[in-house]
Amino acid sequence: MSVITTERQGDIFVITSNNPPVNALGAAVRQGLDAAMDELAGDESLKAAVIRCEGRTFFAGADITEFGKAPVGPDLRQVIDKIEASDKPVVAAIHGTALGGGCEVALGCHYRIAIPSAVIGTPEVKLGLLPGAGGTQRIPRLAGVALALQMNAIGDPIPAAKAKEAGLIDRLATEGQLAEDAIAFAREIAYARPLPRASEKQAKPDPQAIEDFKAKNARRFKGFDAPAANIACVEAATRLPFEEGMAFERQEFMKLMMGVQSAAQRHIFFAERKAAKIDDVPEDTKLREIRKVGVIGAGTMGGGISMNFLSAGIPVTIVEMQQDALDRGTGVMRKNYEGSAAKGRIKPEAVEKAMGLLTPTLSLDDLADCDLIIEAVYENMEVKKELFGKLDAIAKPGAILASNTSYLNIDEIASATSRPGDVVGMHFFSPANVMKLLEVVRGAKTAKDVLATVMAIGKRIKKVPVVSGVCPGFIGNRMLSQRQQAANAMLMQGATPQQIDKVHTDFGMPMGPFQMSDLAGVDIGWHRDESRIESIRDALCAEGRWGQKKQAGFYDYDENRRPSPSPRVAEIIEEFRAKSGNDKRDTSDEEIVERTLYPMVNEGAKILAEGMAQRASDIDVVWIYGYGWPVYRGGPMFWANTEGLAKIVAGLEKHGYEVAPLLKEKAEKGERFA
Ligand code: 3HC
């Protein structure tokens, strides 16, 4: 069956797309729309047309899988031009998500009608692109510069009601009655002339709005190419005639499309979706039902984990050992919610709604009715095994028992229960209510339906779940530890924490290794014996330099947590270097990259070869969503491809690293990580 079908409702021509799952505007859809417009023009008896979609959404954009391949005509701009040039009115009937090219098709129509639940937007910037089929030229002409900047350069879609207020949509339809309402609308305006065409409108210059927008978002846009290009196109719309604006948009679009940033961002779009799939777990695996969740530990982690479920409307029972710790933990959760409400991120009533779903308790026995129990207690194998032994006796049959451990062996934890198939790792990243990554650790005996359920619940609480095998530190922290070791070693040759950190922040990371230590706590995992000083870290800890929380770590901090280089830390580092007998020498930024980032790629290759990650792109997703690797560099394995695997191997060898066989083999064969 053709993806575009047409039917006549009296003198109204109804053009319907049916291209699951999201009605992407692939070649067949474009060809069908093009032919339908010819038919409309050629048939005297037709007076107006409606363009609508079957399935879950109006066109969600150009077909991203076609990018980088040989173009097949007609291109989307030609189709949209033809729609707009029609001398019979065309109405777009919008439901679901009219995104990117889909939004642009709608704006090329003379009229737009949408149901209230629909959203409309141009998220291309999130793929390192700009709306390249007129979106940057038609939105400012219809809705003004300020909204066009917001929609194009930030990329978040807006609800139908807001779009109507702004002039992007003409009418709201009744939910469930879109086709009928759109046909009635088309009949109403069938003879109205002149036809409203976005391209014929004028966009008012607003240099102040552009300046304000740039200033407000400078931090958010740092390192990215696409936002500036989007802004330049919107500005051009206020200055150039439509045709010239379109030419400028085209030129900027092609520049972005050929660039490495967009390739990286498109890679992550698909990588994130692929990560949700587990090779040997069928997609139709029957899931266990999760109606109630138990969380053990009301500290920072346990509280953050609980908030994810509460925000998704899932009741949580939270357990602590002492009343004061329990009160403190739930108090922090409430404060976090109230903070979000004060900043307008959630509705005021959402605070009580979430907190009302929370049951604090001091008794593990209260977890008996939970479908999923997540342990977030002290990182100690004996403690965890004892706890899982108790849970085995308390939890109902079929309950999933999860550990939030960040490096301990899940199989050993599972061995403390009589039901290892129900045991799994759910490794959240701090702050757990904010960070999007969820490492789902698959034990040797973890049941397939347990895995599938945890992946699904991860998505429900708006995380990006990635499966990892059992190995120390799993995917993320295992690679992180390579970076930290190398960074520590470079201090011993005279590099400073600030120099090493700056290379990482210039690369686009939110922070470098020592800034991260200070934030997480320099004392994490410290032996707590002040007389035993075997490393720079031990020396810092012994002096109470535990990081930001003590206003002193690798950096000194003022009362607003602003860092400055620490003379005392410089002394400590110098003492250790002198004792080690290492010579002091200059360290170039290039060496820092080679010695901190290349070893991460090397470890990634080992993780892949051992089957600890299913695919290289899963590793990229871990680093983007768990550690803030810049998305425009596509994650460490994608970045390694762009850097060149042979160059990475040479760099590792130069610094005396043992190169992972998989990395070496790929470099020798001239291959890339898939
Ligand atoms: N092209 C090709 N495939 C697409 C696609 C697109 N534009 N959008 C989604 N898909 C695929 C996904 O890869 C996924 O495939 P899979 O099932 O094989 O993994 C499937 O459709 C379903 O997608 P989601 O899992 O994301 O479904 P959701 O219901 O969660 O979300 C959505 C739906 C909000 C539409 C989301 O898919 C989305 O944001 N899509 C991208 C929208 C976008 O960026 N549009 C702009 C494209 S660029 C463009 O239009 C250029 C133009 O200006 C010239």
**Is 659 inside any structural domain?**
no
Same domain, 181 and 68: yes
**Is 623 inside any structural domain?**
no
**Is residue 101 lining ligand 1, measured as CB closer than 6 Å?**
yes
Q: What span, in angstroms and rounded, lies between the C-alpha atoms of 256 and 248?
A: 13
Same domain, 313 and 446: yes
Q: What is the pLDDT of residue 434?
A: 93
Q: How far is the CA of 62 from the centre of ligand 1 (A)?
A: 9
Instruction: Please report, rounded to a whole number, the percentage of residues in the chain having pLDDT higher than 90.
Output: 96
Q: The domain that contains 367 carries what CATH number?
A: 3.40.50.720
**Is 634 inside any structural domain?**
no
Q: How far is the CA of 419 from the centre of ligand 1 (A)?
A: 39
Structure tokens at 199: 């391209």
Q: What span, in angstroms and rounded, lies between the C-alpha atoms of 118 and 430?
A: 34
Query: Partners of 7 in the beta sheet?
Result: 14
Q: What is the pLDDT of residue 550?
A: 94
Q: How far is the CA of 405 from the centre of ligand 1 (A)?
A: 33
Q: What span, in angstroms and rounded, lies between the C-alpha atoms of 267 and 22?
A: 19
**Is 662 inside any structural domain?**
no
Q: What is the ipTM of this complex?
A: 0.98
**Is 135 inside any structural domain?**
yes
Q: What range defines the domain where residue 572 resides? A: 494-586
Q: Residue 170: pLDDT above 90?
A: yes
pTM of the model: 0.94
Tell me which of 526, 558, 586 is where a domain ends: 586
Q: Is 6 exposed, middle or buried (0-12, 13-18, 19+ CB in 10 A)?
A: middle
Query: What length is written for the chain?
Result: 674
CA atoms 538, 543, 544, 545: torsion sign: negative
Question: Confidence band (pLDDT; 50, 70, 90) for 81?
Answer: very high
Atom in ligand 1 nearest the alpha carbon of residue 64: 1
Same domain, 69 and 106: yes
Atom in ligand 1 nearest the alpha carbon of residue 63: 1
**Is 668 inside any structural domain?**
no
Q: The domain that contains 72 carries what CATH number?
A: 3.90.226.10
Same domain, 468 and 499: no
**Is residue 133 lining ligand 1, measured as CB closer than 6 Å?**
yes
C-alpha atoms less than 13 angstroms from C-alpha of 561 in its C-beta half-sphere = 7
C-alpha atoms less than 13 angstroms from C-alpha of 258 in its C-beta half-sphere = 5
SS3 308: helix
**Is residue 273 lining ligand 1, measured as CB closer than 6 Å?**
yes
The residue written with tokens 């779903």 in the block is 357
Same domain, 406 and 548: no
Identify each DSSP E strand in 221-368 by its residue range: 293-296, 316-319, 358-361
Average pLDDT over residues 452-463: 98
Q: The domain that contains 529 carries what CATH number?
A: 1.10.1040.50
Domain count, the chain: 3
On whether the CB atoms of residues 150 and 246 are closer than 8 A, the answer is no
Q: Is 553 exposed, middle or buried (0-12, 13-18, 19+ CB in 10 A)?
A: buried
Tell me which of 258, 275, 309 is where a domain ends: 258
Same domain, 346 and 453: yes
**Is residue 380 lining ligand 1, measured as CB closer than 6 Å?**
no
Same domain, 326 and 225: no
**Is 622 inside any structural domain?**
no
Which tens digits make up the pLDDT trace of 594-604? 999 999 999 99
**Is 674 inside any structural domain?**
no
Tell me which of 416, 443, 475 is where a domain ends: 475
Same domain, 89 and 205: yes
Same domain, 81 and 187: yes
Strands 119-121 and 158-159: antiparallel
Question: Confidence band (pLDDT; 50, 70, 90) for 3?
Answer: very high
Same domain, 209 and 331: no
Which tens digits make up the pLDDT trace of 284-316? 999 999 999 999 999 999 999 999 999 999 999
Same domain, 179 and 44: yes
Q: Residue 1: pLDDT above 80?
A: no
Residues with Cβ within 8 Å of residue 266, at least 6 apart in sequence: 64, 67, 127, 128
Q: What span, in angstroms and rounded, lies between the C-alpha atoms of 453 and 249?
A: 44
Segment holding 48, helix H or strand E: strand 48-53
Segment holding 555, helix H or strand E: strand 555-557
Same domain, 113 and 251: yes
